[in-house]
Structure 1
Amino acid sequence: MVLSSNEKRAFSRQQCREALAAHIHNRLGLVVAPSQVRLQPSAGDGYAWSVTDSKKSLLQSNLGSGSVGLYRSIREELGRSLEAVTPQTLQVAQSERDHLPKEETPPARSDKKESGSFTAKIRELECANREMSGELDRTRMHLKDFLREKNEMQAEILRLQGELGGVSSRASHLEDELVRVTRGIREAMQVLEVHQTREGSAAEHGEGQDVSVDSVDGTVLETPPFLIRVDAS
C-alpha cells in the first residue's frame, strides 16, 4: 500500500511523538502522552529540551507543522544533541552560560536519570572552563607582578653596578695615591739617612780640630820666661 505524502508526514510525526515521550520517561521518569509532547514546553510541563547550538533549529517548529525531514532529524538526535532535562536544570545551564552568580539561580533538581547526559557534561565542562579561565587570570596577574619585580630588581642591580664601578674607580685612585705617598716617604727617609750620615761625619771631623788647637795653646803657654840681667856697675 502506497502512502500519500500527508499520510507519510502523519506517520513520521506519530513516530517522533512516541520517541520523544519514551525519551522523557527514560530520562526524567515522567509519563507524558505522545499526543501531549511539545517541542516548546512550559515550566509546568515538568520537562524541557536541551539542545546543542548546532541543532537549535530542531526546536523552532511545532510538531504539528513539521516536515518528515524534521521528524527524522529529531529522532536521530535524541540522546545525542537533543535531550529532555528538568526546567530547573535548563535554567541553571543557561544562567551559567550567561555567567550569572550562582546565588541568583534556583537550585537544580538532582536526578540520577540526568547523570551522564550531554547537558550535564556541557555544564561540567563549562564550569571547568570558567575555573581554568579564573586560574589563568590569576596566573597572568602573578606573572605581571613577577615581571614588575624583575624589572625593579634589574634596575636595582644596574644602580648597584654603577655604584660599584664608582667605588672601584675611587679605590683604584686611592691605591695609586697610596703608592705615590709611600714612594715619597721612602725617598724622604733615604734623604734623611744621607743627611744624618753627613752630619755624623761632620761632627767627628770637628772634634779633631778642637784637640789640635788645644795642643797649640799649650805650647804657647809652656814657652820659658825671659831672663832679667842685673848690671853690677
Structure 2
Amino acid sequence: MGAPRTSNIKRTIERNNCRKLLAQHIGEKLGLTISPDQVRTKPRQDDPYRWFLSERVKEEGLFDSNLSDLSSGKFGRIRKALVNKEIEAVPPEFEESPINEGMQNFASDYSFPATIRRLEQEKKDALSNYEELRASCSALTDEITMLKQELEHLQDENQKNVAAIHAFKQHLAEFLSRIQEHV
C-alpha cells in the first residue's frame, strides 16, 4: 500500500480547516463549544445547532452531503459562504419555527450571544439616556424652584409697591384737598 495521494492530503487539510471554521462560527453565533470533528453539515436531532442557508448555498447543495464526502472545491465555497454570511448557525428551535422561511437576516439576529450583546448595548444606551434625562430633570427642577422663589419675592415686592402707591395717592389727595382749602 502506497503513500496517500497529494490530492487526498490536501482534501483532508481543507476539510479540517472547514470544520474548524464552522465550529468557530457556531461558537460565535450560539456561544457553544463544538469540537471541529463533531461539526456536521447535516446535524443530528440531538445536536445543539442547525444551519440556516441562503438560497444560493441551498442550490449549490453544499450541505446536502456529509463533510467527509465533499470535494476540495466545496470546502472553499463553504468558507466563502461563511464570510458572505450565507450560512448561519441557529438553535434547533429556529428550524422548527414557521416564520423562518425567507428570513436570512433573522438567523444572524437570532443567535443568543448576538442578542445578549445587542441587549447589553441597548441597556447601556438606555441607562446613559436615563442619566442624561435625570440630570436635565434635576436641573429643571432646581430652576423651577428658583423661579418660584423669585416669583414669590416679586409678588411680595409688588404688594409692597401697591400699598406704597395707595398710601401715596391718599397723601396726595389729602395734600391737594388742603391746598384747595387755602386757595
Scaled by the length of structure 1, the TM-score of the pair is 0.40
**How far did residue 91 of structure 1 move?**
1.9
Aligned to 2:144: none
Is the 2:49–2:89 Cα contact (8 Å) retained in structure 1?
yes
Task: Find 1:96's aligned residue among 60, 82, 99.
Answer: 99
Is the 2:29–2:111 Cα contact (8 Å) retained in structure 1?
no
**How far did residue 110 of structure 1 move?**
7.0
1:16-55 Cα deviation digits (max 9, x unpaired): 0000000000110111100010001023211000001121
Map residues 69-84 of structure 1 onto 2, 5 A cutoff.
69-79=73-83, 80-84=85-89
Across the aligned residues of Structure 1 and Structure 2, the Cα RMSD in angstroms comes to 2.3
Aligned to 1:14: 16
AA in 2 matched with 1:85: V
Is 1:42 the counterpart of 2:44 in the alignment? yes
**How far did residue 115 of structure 1 move?**
8.1
**How far did residue 113 of structure 1 move?**
2.2
Mark the runs of 5 or more structure 2 residues left unpaired by the alignment: 102-109, 118-183
Aligned to 1:201: none
SS in 2 for 1:5: helix
State how far apart, in whole Å, the 2-side matches of 1:51 and 1:34 are. 19
State how far apart, in whole Å, the 1-side matches of 2:115 and 2:17 are. 24
**How far did residue 61 of structure 1 move?**
1.2
SS in 1 for 2:42: coil
1:70-117 Cα deviation digits (max 9, x unpaired): 11111111151111000112221xx1257xxxxxxxxxx87242589x
Map residues 149-168 of structure 1 onto 2, 5 A cutoff.
none
State how far apart, in whole Å, the 1-side matches of 2:35 and 2:45 are. 17
SS in 2 for 1:22: helix
Mark the runs of 5 or more structure 1 residues left unpaired by the alignment: 99-108, 117-233
AA in 1 matched with 2:81: E
